[in-house]
Structure 1
Amino acid sequence: MTYEIGVVLSVIAVAVVLFVSEKLSIDTTAILVMSLFMVLGILTPAEGLAGFSNPATITVACMFVISTAIFKSGALSSVGVLLTRVGRRNYLLCLLAVMLVAGLLSAFINDTAVVALLMPVVIQVARDTRISPAKLLMPLSFGALLGGVCTLIGTSTNILVSGIAEAQGEAPIGMFELTAAGVWFLIIGVLYMLLAGRFLLPSRKLADDLTDDFNMGDYLTEIVIQPESPSAGMPLSSSSLVQNLDIDVLQITRDKYLLNATPYTMLRVGDVLKVRCDVEKLKKMKEEKGIKLKSERKLKEEDLNNTSTKLYEAIVTPNSYMVDKSLKQLDFRAHNHGATVVAIRHRDEILHEKLTHTRLSAGDVLLIAADKDQALNLRNNEDILLISETERSQYDYSKIIPVLLIGAGVVFTAATGLAHIVLSALVGVVLLVLTKCIRLDELYKAIEWKVIFMLAGVLSMGTALEKTGAAGLLSGFLVDSIGSYGPHALLSAFFFITFMSTNFMSNNATAALLAPIAIVAAKEMGVSVRPFLVAVTFAASLSFMTPMGYQTNTMIYGPGNYKFVDYLRVGTPLNILFWLLASLIIPFFFPF
């Protein structure tokens, strides 16, 4: 082992630890690794920064824009209506429809956008039919993952592996090259969920309203300002009520008139305040604070919904600016016109206190009290996804035909070989802008920059592995250990290593690490590189065992009220099934 190989393997080992532990965000870790390779002299600046100009990175950025344009045009709005009609008839039919619709859309549109589109519809169908959302949200995510492996543009991972292959002298993956094998994985995945997986899904009780769902009984109440209260005559933000207690005022009733609770609202004696707080603490402090509980009855969702204020659920999206920040840092209430977070569902726990100081994570569900205007602002906030109602932003239906024609043109030109995928995607984005199907500000917002920086960073790992010979060292070890059992065994090993790794770290990072090794291993055995690349591509996207394995799994974690063990129970048999079948399906369509 040379010094350079030792440095590369050491840096990658640190990167894997950071990816798994999430001490740093994935994109930060990727850029850190890229910088270390350049500082340590493993890569030149040109080699280290090449990931930003790599066709795979640019293609992924373009596909984010095209997916957003399709989404915003309203071209998919009828899908939600159709799913609602089918879903209310029969649970099995609903499960089948959810997976197939998600799979079909994800073959051509970014899968996180597909889940964002369908999640509110699926949740509403579940509530209308009195089915736990947990029975449908995991099939939704799994369907999106399965559809993503059916085409080149189905996931960023497919495009990434294609770019790595092309950089090492192999032919890029064709637009529909993965389709034949991918459809088999989709069919098997759907059959598994219909015949076995649905029995493994949790059957958690459906709460009657959101206050029950978030255990808000002891945290929502009404109080009355008494004459002796030091808060009387003061602005809400400066009152001792807010300053000394962990309390959020949702609404003020004064002489039968409803007032918005702004920081500048002057409190008066006799004001009735609907508040979020620890009611038991409030009872102990009510006399000395000059406040009185209006009644001992705990507020329910209907008590709020009968006024101008309603409760809404919103999920923090995977690439949201809000991730790793607190509500106080974000100044959430001010930036959302007074909308107030009254509870947070974080993984397996529900938080009610010290909410403003809680650091948010992707997948966290916020319970927000807001009026109609505030809800409209929340619906247009691209850092969160409102999931408690199916009403969406207004669409410009006049853009549907040009958007679909441009999208179809991108697919057609790439599929027929008239243009490289990066060129067809770039031209498609330019046409979308020229035809005013998407504005420039919407274009920049559509690109998930964390993903772009992460891709640019992880590509440097593949370059370092190949340049220093580390890929050859690792592939030699695998060939010596497993190659004697034949290429089927080695392919099976790559599939296993990839899907196990991607369940605990970024799927793109996993693919960037293993694709170069797979290429070298295939060449050492004297067999075709293609089946090994396809194995890494499929396994990196088919991540079912953990909520952090893929962004869509993270998105459904909170809304489905899942626990970590739910993913293990439902996803592990499916991953093992695919592992066993991969050594048969992949070589059949991609011979050695």
Structure 2
Amino acid sequence: MDLPSFHALAAMIMTVGVFVAFARGKPSIEIVSLFTIALIGVGLYFYPLPDTLPTDGLTLAFAGFGHPALITICALMIMGRGLVVTGALEPAARVLERVWKLNAQLGMLVSLLLAMALSMVVNDTPVLVLLMPIFVALAQRGAMPASKTLIPLNAAVLIGGMATTIGTSTNLLVVGIAQDLGMRQLSVFHYTPIVLTAALVALPYLWLVMPRLLPDNTPERTQTIRRFFSHLRVTPQSELAGRHFDEIAGRLPDDFRFEERPGGAFEPGQRFLISGTHDGLESAIRMLRGQVAPSWVIDQIVGRSRKRREDIQVVEMVVTADSRLVGRTLASSGIADRYGVAVLGVHKPKSLLRGDTNAAAAHDLRLAEGDVLLVMGLSDGLEPFAATDSLLQLEGAREVPRRSKALLAAAIMFGAVALASVGLPWIGAAGLYLVKVPIAISALAGAIVMFVTGCVKFDRVGRALSAKVIVLVAASIAIGRIVLESGAAGWLGEALALGLQYLPPAGVLMAVMLFVTVLTNFASNATAATVGTPIAFALANELGLPEEPLVLAVLFGCNLCYATPIAYQTNMLIMAEGSYRFGDYMKTGVPLVLIMVTTLSFLLVMTYSL
């Protein structure tokens, strides 16, 4: 066997070096990614590949920034942002929240099974895009931190996607190459029992072990969570009207409570002292449909927001010693009339409350120095209010979800997923049929529609995208191309074939699967499929083995992309949301790869009587 070429050897050395740098975490992923792109571009400019120009190397190095995979990821991030800012996923989050409230372990199990089932019939990328914001929202509501759920959820999606020939584009690629080489066509559920059995073996690890291996990356709070007091007015349309407290107690958020309770049923017009965190107040008010501020000022704020196409903000403001509000109540302050803003609640320091919440009720929320107001409004009302009444605005302003566009955002996302998974109805010479649209096209179209309809605003795009993910995707695409075009992947395949002739069939299957798994985790699954499938056919002919189990070993190996963030686009999608490091994928992914390789190899041997 010949030695690898200079370019192939350099590509292998660079790939190992980049992997070590990613695993160490120093320097940062962004720096390593940009350095890798620069190294490939400069190296190929001075030492171009055979039969290529120096400028072709620059094209190869920077092609990742215009690659469909990167465009897809960015478009999916934008659509995910649209679902969040419109509150479109809140109903689904509340349903799952009830399951998680019953039992956290049960909630995790149900979530993993749901992810697996969906990705069997729907392309795995849209499935993760739909589920990821829900689990981020659940984490904000007090469920398990997103950093402990997103990697297991992603792994469940990938395992489910492996179970059918339509689950991932990689499956279709392997099956297509195999058919071109002469293998019979595989049905959609041809090997599903094998994958489902392996999934049952891996499920306890995903469910019970993997979350424990992951860190809690929830941002540390610089201060204690504030609890705001307010008065809730029961309206005729409220869910409280005519009901007793015991009927609604079980539905209330954990971070919300009634400081006063009625002796009988709630009646329209009654006012009760309530308290809760910002999230607790928002959830309870929306669910109970009560009022904590004059309805006329809320309607005025919403109307102006729609007319001016400006987001409503909720900010926290501290009452200073010079403020005219000191000693006044909210009712006598005239805040709504003067500035057109609404005070939703008041946080009173414990030193003022002296541990007695009745003090807040007795003084009708009389304001004092150091109180923190939770204020809702538009910028042209919030800024004059803070400046004129000597208030100190705190950091961390929030935008109120544009719920009027929630159904529209959900419909756009559903349409993008349907186009990529089911197809677009089309009438041709053969009649009505479905034409599948590439996920890059459907996601990009969905993102554009999100912009046009106002679900996502152009000046908010930066909040949806992650610079770390963008440069990492671009670098991984460049690495995959140089590994393939330099001949490094082909040389590794020849070396593998040379050494496998002495192994039993079970060992050959496991070795092929491991080789493709390594290739897919450090190059790309498309590269692994392109290189691995012909190798599997050649091995079958040389060793006298059936072709189908070896091709399935390649297909399974291409899907075992759990060990690095660069292995698959869904791995990168969750990276920013979970604040993951490269090592988090390795720590949790390598054991899962070993479990799946061992189980799938054994099942292939048993199924095909090898």
**Normalising by the residue count of structure 1, what TM-score does the alignment of the two structures yield?**
0.53
Match of 1:376 in 2: 398
- 1:525 paired to 2:539: yes
Letter in structure 1 aligned against 2:104: Y
- 1:411 paired to 2:402: no
Contact 2:419 2:436 in 1 (8 A): no
Distance 1:565 1:111 in 2: 19
Match of 1:222 in 2: none
Contact 2:74 2:465 in 1 (8 A): yes
Deviation at 1:304, TM superposition (A): 13
Letter in structure 1 aligned against 2:502: S
Distance 1:50 1:487 in 2: 39
Deviation at 1:513, TM superposition (A): 6.4
Match of 2:595 in 1: 577
Residue deviations 1:541-570 (CA, integer Å, cap 9, x gap): 3669xxxx95577568779xx9979985x7
In structure 2, the residue corresponding to 1:254 is in which secondary structure? coil
In structure 2, the residue corresponding to 1:142 is in which secondary structure? helix
- 1:254 paired to 2:321: yes
Segments of 5+ residues of structure 2 without an aligned counterpart are 226-316, 327-349, 352-356, 358-367, 376-382, 384-391, 427-431, 541-546
Match of 1:484 in 2: 502
Deviation at 1:80, TM superposition (A): 0.7
Letter in structure 2 aligned against 1:410: A
Deviation at 1:79, TM superposition (A): 1.8
Match of 1:93 in 2: 106
- 1:307 paired to 2:386: no
Contact 1:8 1:465 in 2 (8 A): yes
Contact 1:491 1:531 in 2 (8 A): no
Match of 1:285 in 2: none
Match of 2:389 in 1: none
Match of 1:121 in 2: 138
Pick from 145, 148, 171: which aligns with 2:155? 145
In structure 2, the residue corresponding to 1:541 is in which secondary structure? coil
In structure 2, the residue corresponding to 1:109 is in which secondary structure? helix
Residue deviations 1:295-353 (CA, integer Å, cap 9, x gap): 99xxxxx999962489xxxxxxxxxxxxxxxxxxxxxxxxxx9xxxxxxxxxxxxxxxx
Distance 1:168 1:51 in 2: 30
Distance 1:174 1:454 in 2: 36
Deviation at 1:255, TM superposition (A): 3.6
Pick from 488, 500, 506: which aligns with 1:470? 488
Contact 1:56 1:162 in 2 (8 A): no
In structure 2, the residue corresponding to 1:150 is in which secondary structure? helix
Distance 1:62 1:202 in 2: 27
Contact 1:34 1:458 in 2 (8 A): no
CA gap 1:575/1:138 in 2 versus in 1, 3 angstroms: farther
Distance 2:551 2:425 in 1: 18
In structure 1, the residue corresponding to 2:320 is in which secondary structure? strand
Distance 2:394 2:577 in 1: 25
Distance 2:425 2:551 in 1: 18
Distance 1:304 1:490 in 2: 75
Deviation at 1:192, TM superposition (A): 3.6
Deviation at 1:477, TM superposition (A): 1.8
Match of 1:7 in 2: 7
Match of 2:523 in 1: 509
* Equivalences for residues 44-443 of structure 1 within 5 A: 44=52, 45=55, 49=59, 57-58=67-68, 61-62=71-72, 64-65=74-75, 68-69=78-79, 72-73=82-83, 74-103=87-116, 107-109=124-126, 111=128, 114-122=131-139, 124-126=141-143, 133=144, 137-151=147-161, 159=169, 183-194=196-207, 197=209, 211=223, 253-255=320-322, 307-308=372-373, 374-376=396-398, 395-413=405-423, 423=438, 425-426=440-441, 429-430=444-445, 433=448, 436=452, 441=458
Deviation at 1:14, TM superposition (A): 2.0
Contact 1:109 1:153 in 2 (8 A): no
Contact 1:413 1:424 in 2 (8 A): no
Segments of 5+ residues of structure 1 without an aligned counterpart are 127-132, 214-249, 260-294, 297-301, 311-336, 338-369, 380-390
Match of 1:540 in 2: 561
Residue deviations 1:109-142 (CA, integer Å, cap 9, x gap): 274774344134135344xxxxxx46x8534420
CA gap 1:557/1:404 in 2 versus in 1, 3 angstroms: closer
Letter in structure 2 aligned against 1:480: L
Deviation at 1:410, TM superposition (A): 2.5
In structure 2, the residue corresponding to 1:397 is in which secondary structure? helix
In structure 2, the residue corresponding to 1:88 is in which secondary structure? helix
CA gap 1:579/1:531 in 2 versus in 1, 3 angstroms: same
Letter in structure 1 aligned against 2:562: S
Match of 1:40 in 2: 47
Distance 1:57 1:554 in 2: 19
Distance 1:174 1:475 in 2: 28
Please, which moves more after superposition, 69-78 or 172-181?
Answer: 172-181
Distance 1:51 1:125 in 2: 43
Contact 2:99 2:107 in 1 (8 A): yes
Deviation at 1:464, TM superposition (A): 4.5
Match of 1:346 in 2: none
Contact 2:33 2:471 in 1 (8 A): yes
Contact 1:56 1:160 in 2 (8 A): no
Contact 2:9 2:488 in 1 (8 A): yes
CA gap 1:520/1:52 in 2 versus in 1, 3 angstroms: farther
CA gap 1:402/1:76 in 2 versus in 1, 3 angstroms: same
In structure 1, the residue corresponding to 2:49 is in which secondary structure? coil
Residue deviations 1:7-66 (CA, integer Å, cap 9, x gap): 322233123312331345364255235423354211635587369879994256236525
Contact 2:500 2:508 in 1 (8 A): yes
If you compute each CA radius of gyration, which structure gives the higher value, 1 or 2?
Answer: 2
Please, which moves more after superposition, 463-472 or 74-83?
Answer: 463-472
Contact 1:57 1:455 in 2 (8 A): no
Deviation at 1:537, TM superposition (A): 2.0
**Normalising by the residue count of structure 2, what TM-score does the alignment of the two structures yield?**
0.52
Deviation at 1:193, TM superposition (A): 4.6
Equivalenced residues, count:
427
Distance 1:454 1:170 in 2: 33
CA gap 1:401/1:96 in 2 versus in 1, 3 angstroms: same
CA gap 1:209/1:428 in 2 versus in 1, 3 angstroms: closer
Distance 1:396 1:38 in 2: 50
Distance 2:476 2:99 in 1: 42
CA gap 1:182/1:57 in 2 versus in 1, 3 angstroms: farther
In structure 2, the residue corresponding to 1:14 is in which secondary structure? helix
What is the aligned-residue identity percentage?
Answer: 14
Match of 2:312 in 1: none
CA gap 1:60/1:431 in 2 versus in 1, 3 angstroms: same
Distance 2:557 2:501 in 1: 17
CA gap 1:566/1:513 in 2 versus in 1, 3 angstroms: closer
Deviation at 1:82, TM superposition (A): 0.8
Letter in structure 2 aligned against 1:531: L
Distance 2:110 2:192 in 1: 20
CA gap 1:443/1:71 in 2 versus in 1, 3 angstroms: closer
